[in-house]
């Protein structure tokens, strides 16, 4: 396990706001491979890997990849998945995850109008009643840590039991991302700007 600096976190100099210094040169081979994977995927080694995963047993680094792989098995449309993750990240005030979601939207050539309009999703005409039902559900659960029966019944009008469980998975795994970042004060990696540059180069 890469221990990084032995200096207590409270005394260590902060880099980009993180409480722990990023580990730029990991010693473990598998951690190096995870770094290389991140570099290929987004053009840089993302901060959660350098600040958190590199200090944990190797399986934790692979866990990030497993979440991404499991998302690809979901039946929900990718746009709905992205809206749910972004809404939860916004409510948890996790700038890193919000930035990642915008980066993904740009990479997929998705319109950013819905992401930008999430704060008014209940009245914004860009959102369907089906999307509003899912967003009401994840918003209520994120803020109140409980869901009123009426909110769940409205969700069940638009989604199957399997899809509801997929929504729960998205919300729960997004909380993992968010809480890990917030606990160590990991800020945005500015991936959204990198995504815009990539799109400009394609045009």
Render pLDDT for 118-165 as a digit per residue (tens, 0 to 9): 999 999 999 999 999 999 999 999 999 999 999 999 999 999 999 999
What are the extents of the domains in the chain?
1-73, 78-202
pLDDT value of position 109: 67
Q: Rg of the Cα trace of the chain?
A: 18
Q: What is the mean pLDDT of the chain?
A: 87
Q: pTM of the prediction?
A: 0.84
Rounded average pLDDT over 76-104: 95
Structure tokens at 97: 């995850």
156-203, pLDDT tens digit by residue? 999 999 999 999 999 999 999 999 999 999 999 988 775 454 443 344
36 or 15: which carries more pLDDT confidence? 36
Residue 3 clears pLDDT 90, i.e. is over it: no
Burial, 172: exposed, middle or buried (Cβ in 10 Å; 0-12, 13-18, 19+)? exposed
Domain 78-202 CATH assignment equals 1.20.120.80:
no
| φ, ψ dihedrals at 59, nearest 5° | -60, -30
Rounded average pLDDT over 42-58: 93
92-118, pLDDT tens digit by residue? 999 999 999 999 888 876 678 899 999
SS3 labels along the chain: CCCCCCCCCCCCCCECCECCCCCCCCCCHHHHHHHHHHHHHHCCCCHHHHHCHHHCCHHHHHHHHHHHHHHCCCCCCHHHHHHHHHHHHHHCCCHHHHHHHHHHHHHCCCCCHHHHCHHHCCCCCCCCHHHHHHHHHHHHHHHHCCCCHHHHHHHHHHCCHHHHHHHHHHHHHHHHHHHHHHHCCCCCCCHHHHHHHHHHHHC
**For a pLDDT cut of 90, what percent of the chain falls above it?**
70
Residue 5 clears pLDDT 60, i.e. is over it: no
């Amino acid at each position: 396990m890469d221990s990084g600096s032995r200096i207590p976190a409270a005394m260590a100099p902060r880099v980009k706001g993180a409480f722990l210094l990023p580990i730029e040169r990991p010693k473990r081979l598998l951690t190096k491979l995870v770094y290389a994977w991140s570099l290929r995927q987004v053009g840089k080694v993302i901060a959660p890997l350098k600040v958190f995963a590199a200090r944990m047993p190797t399986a934790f680094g692979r866990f990030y990849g497993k979440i991404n792989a499991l998302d690809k098995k979901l039946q929900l449309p990718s746009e709905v998945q992205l809206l749910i993750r972004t809404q939860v990240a916004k409510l948890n005030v996790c700038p890193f995850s919000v930035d990642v979601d915008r980066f993904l939207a740009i990479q997929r050539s998705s319109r950013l109008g819905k992401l930008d309009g999430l704060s008014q999703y209940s009245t914004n005409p860009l959102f369907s009643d089906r999307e509003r039902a899912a967003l009401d559900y994840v918003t209520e659960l994120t803020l109140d840590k409980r869901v009123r029966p009426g909110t769940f019944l409205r969700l069940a009008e638009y989604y199957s039991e399997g899809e509801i469980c997929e929504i729960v998975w998205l919300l729960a795994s997004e909380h993992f991302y968010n809480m890990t970042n917030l606990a160590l004060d990991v800020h945005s990696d500015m991936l959204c700007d990198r995504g815009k540059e990539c799109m400009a180069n394609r045009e």
